[in-house]
């Protein structure tokens, strides 16, 4: 299948690698072209403009930072929707508000294309291995068209409703996780006076109900980070998660409800960004709090 991927950041590049390994014909476009080079070396075609990517693809996947990035990639002068997209399927995988996905789906539909959303759980490793968790929103017939490809990217697919539902589910899934990283830093502040070794502390937490799966999966990285070792490569940075927390708070407001704990966590992430560590790995959140 001819697949186009717009946005070869951390996740887009990992997904492209996965699809190349399955011998799909993959074309990529990225705002910063340099990031497409390793994929070109692995056999991907590189499109100079989003419109070129869409023209060369039967299915287009986008996984971009936020609503502004979606706007730029789809609706710019040479955007994905600037040419004829009739009959094409778009799979939008960014973590954004439901209304962003709904508005995009409407525009794609008006041009004769189909769109489903599939924001994902899981990070670079699962993306490379086709082991993401896809939170799918879309019309049944469109989801059916996309499903064979989704199954090659995801270990589990949950079709939770029309376009917008997947975005809601993804924001909800990330909420306790992002609050957790700050809460874990606060927990560490309580036991700091004990002077225990970082690896031992992470190991103790990991064997209790005080840990998330993310802590267990990233135990070694977290222990090194607590010992002052710089995390590399970064799987997800603080700024991206700050964007997610902000999106959750905005979404709740539009629903007429409040998220007091989330809003408080957002404030802590904002302070981390102000302290200059926004581009650091997410483990920087608990590390910062413990070290205060």
Ligand X SMILES: NC(=O)c1ccc[n+]([C@@H]2O[C@H](COP(=O)([O-])OP(=O)(O)OC[C@H]3O[C@@H](n4cnc5c(N)ncnc54)[C@H](OP(=O)(O)O)[C@@H]3O)[C@@H](O)[C@H]2O)c1
Interaction of residue 236 with ligand X, rule CB under 6 A: yes
Residue number, 229 or 279, with CB nearest to ligand X: 279
Interaction of residue 30 with ligand X, rule CB under 6 A: yes
Interaction of residue 35 with ligand X, rule CB under 6 A: yes
Residue 102: strand pairing partners? none
Interaction of residue 65 with ligand X, rule CB under 6 A: yes
Touching ligand X, residues 77-106 (CB under 6 A): 94-95
Residue number, 213 or 291, with CB nearest to ligand X: 213
- As a whole number of angstroms, the distance between CA 265 and CA 263 comes to 5
What does 27-72 look like in DSSP terms, one character per residue? EEE-SSGGGGHHHHHTT-EE-SSHHHHHHT-SEEEE--SSHHHHHH
- As a whole number of angstroms, the distance between CA 271 and CA 56 comes to 44
Q: Total binding residues for ligand X by CB under 6 A? A: 25
Beta-strand pair 25-29/2-6: parallel
What token pair was written down for 165? 């539902």
Contact 231, 224 (CB under 8 A): yes
Please report how close the Cβ of residue 50 comes to ligand X at its closest, in angstroms: 8
Residue number, 7 or 185, with CB nearest to ligand X: 7
Interaction of residue 232 with ligand X, rule CB under 6 A: no
Please report how close the Cβ of residue 190 comes to ligand X at its closest, in angstroms: 28
Interaction of residue 120 with ligand X, rule CB under 6 A: yes
**Interface mask (CB under 6 A) for ligand X, residues 172-211, using x and -?**
----------------------------------------
- As a whole number of angstroms, the distance between CA 84 and CA 64 comes to 22
Q: Hey, is 101 helix, strand or coil?
A: helix
Residues that bind ligand X (CB under 6 A): 7-12, 30-32, 35, 63-65, 68-69, 72-73, 94-95, 120, 123, 235-236, 240, 244
């Amino acid at each position: 299948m001819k697949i186009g991927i717009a946005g070869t950041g951390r996740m887009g590049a990992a997904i492209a690698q996965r699809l190349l390994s399955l011998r799909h014909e993959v074309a990529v476009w990225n705002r910063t072209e340099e990031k497409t080079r390793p994929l070109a070396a692995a056999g991907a075609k590189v499109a100079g403009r989003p419109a070129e990517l869409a023209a060369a693809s039967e299915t287009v996947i986008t996984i971009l930072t936020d609503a502004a990035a979606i706007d730029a990639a789809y609706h710019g002068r040479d955007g994905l929707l600037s040419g004829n997209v009739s009959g094409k399927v778009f799979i939008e995988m960014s973590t954004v508000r439901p209304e962003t996905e709904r508005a995009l789906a409407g525009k794609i539909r008006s041009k004769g294309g189909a769109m489903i959303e599939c924001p994902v759980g899981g990070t670079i490793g699962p993306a490379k291995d086709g082991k993401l968790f896809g939170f799918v929103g879309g019309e049944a017939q469109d989801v059916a068209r996309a499903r064979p490809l989704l199954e090659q990217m995801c270990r589990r697919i949950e079709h939770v409703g029309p376009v917008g539902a997947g975005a809601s589910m993804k924001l909800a899934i990330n909420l306790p996780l992002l609050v957790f990283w700050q809460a874990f830093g606060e927990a560490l502040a309580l036991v700091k006076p004990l002077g225990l070794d970082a690896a031992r502390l992470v190991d103790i937490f990991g064997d209790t109900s005080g840990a998330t799966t993310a802590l267990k999966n990233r135990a070694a990285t977290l222990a090194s980070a607590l010992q002052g070792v710089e995390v590399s490569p970064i799987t997800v940075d603080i700024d991206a998660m700050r964007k997610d927390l902000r999106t959750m708070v905005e979404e709740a407001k539009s629903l007429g409800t409040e998220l007091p704990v989330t809003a408080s966590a957002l404030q802590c992430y904002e302070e981390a960004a102000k302290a200059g560590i926004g581009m650091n790995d997410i483990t920087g959140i608990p590390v910062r709090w413990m070290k205060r």
